[in-house]
Structure 1
Amino acid sequence: MLAKQGWRLMQGKNSLLYGCFKAKYLPRWSFLEVVETPNSSFVWRSIMVSREILERGSCWRVGDGLAIRVNRDKWIPNHPTNMVIHPPQEDEWEWSVVELINWTTRTWDRQLVETKFHSEDVEAILRIPLSRRHSIDKLFWLHNREGKYSEKSGYHLAKQLWREVDSQGECLTGGGINPNRRGYTGSVSTGEACLCFSGGIQSIPEPPSCTECNGEEFEMGTAAWTPVQTQLRCSYFPGNSSVRIQGEVMASFLARGPPIADSEEAKLLACRKALEFAVDTGFTYIVVEGNNTVVMNAILSSRTAYSWLGHLYDDVKCMAAGISNLTVSYVSRTANSVAHSLAHFAKKY
């Protein structure tokens, strides 16, 4: 429970709890940076005991990059230690992640990143998806899908830390962290996504067993056509692809997406790209269909997304709010044979 209060201090800066402790203990520093003082209250010292668990299990989600220090903070998900493994030789003073972003295109400044960092870190940094909007940096919990701290995940992390300390014969900073005391607990293969909508949008992935893309990048292709009197017949053969569309094609596009970490990210990026395309083209009636229940339910949910992809969900929801007639639903993969064939066809271009 104490770790949960610490998590609230890290997340809810408008809460009454944060307001009570800020003036005395957090005047200039965050909860993860503040130094415990001898005259601290018993409650504050108890919460501080859980800080090591929260620091170990949390990571920054890059928004505007202003609050994230390049060489000191954990901000690279799906990367060992979640930090820069090979720090640049030139240690910039107060170097923040905001300096690595090209705000004109809202993408990473590839040239600067490749110049400053080791190739292993470069690949991991360029994989981090960025928001299309101005969003602030937020901490998320690494040990569950929701990105929010839970007592269960904190308990298991505390047990892991305790085993590590026990094997080394040392004591944790702050001492007294026992995972059996509740009061003190605090790469997936990539694939290919193709977007298409017939009177709407469909977002589907390439099966994880795909051997053609080698797990590096995925293609995004979208075709839009009139929902009335439209029939599609697509066929895919190794070395020979053909797509025959009977009906009036209204718009289409093909784009190469960035490297991805998992299926959820692929489908979410595909959905965002498809909505951007639909809005730019002027469609007012859009149907979004996907075979990932996690992504579809998160888009439909009114709850805030705290995971490492939360800012991408916010992008999709923001665009969806501006569309007068939008339907989002889950469909089985077997219903996406046409889009699946289009995905194979798009890979050749």
Structure 2
Amino acid sequence: MDDSKKGCCLKSWNSICSPKNVGGLGIKKTADMNKALVAKMTWDVVNNSDKRWVVVFKKKYVRNRNFMKMPNPKSASWAAQSIFECRKVISKGLCHRIGDGLNTWIFEDPWVPNEPGFIPQIRSGVSTAVHLVADLINQDTRQWDRGEFSVKFAYNAIRGLNHQNHPHMLSKDWKDLWKLKVNARLKNLLWKINKARVEGSKSNPADLSRQIFKVFMEHKDAWKEQNERPSKDVVWSPPPKSWIKINFDVAIREEKTTVAVVGRDDNGNLLLTWAEHFESGNSLLGEARAAWFAMKCAMNEGFQNIILEGDAWNVIEPLKKSDITPHWSIKSILEDIVFFVNSFSNVEFSFVHRKGNVSAHLLAQWAALVNWSGPVPISFLPSHVSQAVVRDGSRPDLFCFSPVSG
């Protein structure tokens, strides 16, 4: 392309092609997307896929060597060279999930999620005589699993966009903007305003004001029409007769993760209220831990017919449908939950929106605030939690609280 014939562009291509969570429009660069898709083939080789082409590829080029550390074969075809080159992409997001630890080197392989590059840093005074992760744990028979591949993560890794924030707006701010339940044109206008604000773009104030007023009036009319429609609130529903419904939720704080469990029978009577703390982590891991803890409480209580209900779709759906693969970071936790199922006569998993999970949500928030750990007697429940339970239709027994053991 002749640089002298370039026109005036309102935004740079790099800015437009950035993900929405860092201020772009999420348009994909074809060259980088192609590399991300090739990286998926590289992942198949790393993960020892049983695909026919992977078997042939490894016999021809890898043989008995370490695929991630071996040099590029000079005799490899152009396609094979591309697969080898994409090891750089894979290495940016490769993190081992530890089974027996026999295949993972402590200071060479990536296996600690919260460390830079997933590789633990050697601190002064720490012995390096121990080489394998297996030397740090008791041996068992569990298999080693490397996790799941994401083309999206590979694409962002190629562009250096993973865990990146805009210098003037946090990733959460951009995500919140695109999640607004407003007209798409209004969201686009808000994006333009924020881009102009944080990047110092000089827009015509009069034109911008006219655009804002026009979209505002359109949105006002749409909002009026929406409010005139009858709405259907999501509420907590009791379980069938002789069943117990266990609701769970999590409160994430910088220093800890607090989970809460609320169990009720078919009459709405409270049978179980419990809160517990775990080490800090992200919301997905926290929701999975809350579901695991809820199952443990129900098992220790001796309940036989239970419905495990929460507002985390990416935790509940993999439990309901075996063909849905959960995120690798919670896979082992969900496997434990499935193992617990054998301790009950009947178990069902139910997803509900936040409005139908208010009691567990408020209990988790309160327990995180006051640092409560353990069973919560009904007489100790804060008023806003008790009111939420009453709104759900319960008749709490003031002498009932959960004596979970172990």
The bucket for the TM-score relative to the shorter chain is 0.5 to 0.7
Calculate the TM-score normalised by the size of structure 2.
0.54
In structure 2, relative to structure 1, the CA distance for the partners of 1:59 and 1:38 (3 Å cut) is same
Q: Pick the structure with more helix per residue.
A: 2
Calculate the TM-score normalised by the size of structure 1.
0.61
In structure 2, relative to structure 1, the CA distance for the partners of 1:264 and 1:19 (3 Å cut) is same
- Matched residue, 1:307: 328
Q: Which of 127, 137, 145 matches 1:90?
A: 127
Q: Which is greater in Rg?
A: 2
- Matched residue, 2:318: 298
SS across alignment from 1:273? helix
In structure 2, relative to structure 1, the CA distance for the partners of 1:230 and 1:3 (3 Å cut) is closer
- Matched residue, 1:263: 283
| Preserved contact between residue 78 and residue 261 of structure 1 (Cα < 8 Å) | no
Identity across aligned pairs (percent)?
A: 23
Deviation at 1:304, TM superposition (A): 2.9
| Preserved contact between residue 10 and residue 30 of structure 1 (Cα < 8 Å) | no
SS across alignment from 2:160? helix
| Preserved contact between residue 285 and residue 329 of structure 2 (Cα < 8 Å) | no
CA deviation vs aligned residue, 1:54-95 (integer Å, no higher than 9, x gap): 1123222223322221101111213332221235642225x1
- Matched residue, 2:257: 218
In structure 2, relative to structure 1, the CA distance for the partners of 1:256 and 1:17 (3 Å cut) is same
| Preserved contact between residue 112 and residue 119 of structure 2 (Cα < 8 Å) | yes
SS across alignment from 1:60? coil
Deviation at 1:322, TM superposition (A): 6.3
Matched, 1:201 2:246: yes
Q: Which of 346, 349, 352 matches 1:331?
A: 352
CA deviation vs aligned residue, 1:135-172 (integer Å, no higher than 9, x gap): 433334xxxxxx4231x5433322339xxxxxxxxxxx
SS across alignment from 1:215? coil
| Preserved contact between residue 68 and residue 137 of structure 1 (Cα < 8 Å) | no
Matched, 1:319 2:340: yes
The residue type paired with residue 218 of structure 1 is: T
In structure 2, relative to structure 1, the CA distance for the partners of 1:29 and 1:203 (3 Å cut) is farther
1-side partners of 2:65 and 2:298: how far apart?
44
The residue type paired with residue 66 of structure 1 is: L
2-side partners of 1:9 and 1:222: how far apart?
42
| Runs of at least 5 residues in structure 1 that lack an aligned partner in the other structure | 104-132, 141-146, 162-196, 209-213, 233-248
Aligned residues: 252
Matched, 1:231 2:269: yes
Deviation at 1:271, TM superposition (A): 0.9
In structure 2, relative to structure 1, the CA distance for the partners of 1:301 and 1:31 (3 Å cut) is farther
| Preserved contact between residue 65 and residue 136 of structure 1 (Cα < 8 Å) | no
| Runs of at least 5 residues in structure 2 that lack an aligned partner in the other structure | 1-36, 162-238, 374-406
The residue type paired with residue 329 of structure 1 is: S
In structure 2, relative to structure 1, the CA distance for the partners of 1:42 and 1:79 (3 Å cut) is same
Deviation at 1:99, TM superposition (A): 2.6
The residue type paired with residue 157 of structure 2 is: L
- Matched residue, 1:46: 82
The residue type paired with residue 294 of structure 1 is: N
SS across alignment from 1:203? strand
- The correspondence of residues 1-349 of structure 1 with structure 2, limited to 5 A, is 1-87=37-123, 89-92=126-129, 95-102=131-138, 135-140=142-147, 147-150=148-151, 152-160=152-160, 199-206=244-251, 215-220=254-259, 222=261, 224=263, 227-232=265-270, 249=271, 256-302=276-322, 303-320=324-341, 323-340=344-361, 342-343=363-364, 344=366, 347-349=371-373
| Preserved contact between residue 98 and residue 145 of structure 2 (Cα < 8 Å) | yes
Deviation at 1:12, TM superposition (A): 3.9
Deviation at 1:48, TM superposition (A): 0.8
- Matched residue, 2:203: none
In structure 2, relative to structure 1, the CA distance for the partners of 1:97 and 1:257 (3 Å cut) is farther
Deviation at 1:331, TM superposition (A): 2.0
SS across alignment from 1:265? helix
SS across alignment from 1:138? coil
1-side partners of 2:141 and 2:354: how far apart?
34
The residue type paired with residue 137 of structure 1 is: W
1-side partners of 2:259 and 2:326: how far apart?
24
Bigger RCO of structures 1 and 2 (CA < 8 A, at least 6 apart): 1
Q: Pick the structure with more strand per residue.
A: 1
CA deviation vs aligned residue, 1:74-120 (integer Å, no higher than 9, x gap): 11213332221235642225x122232356xxxxxxxxxxxxxxxxx
2-side partners of 1:228 and 1:46: how far apart?
59
Deviation at 1:321, TM superposition (A): 6.2
In structure 2, relative to structure 1, the CA distance for the partners of 1:231 and 1:253 (3 Å cut) is closer
The residue type paired with residue 144 of structure 2 is: D
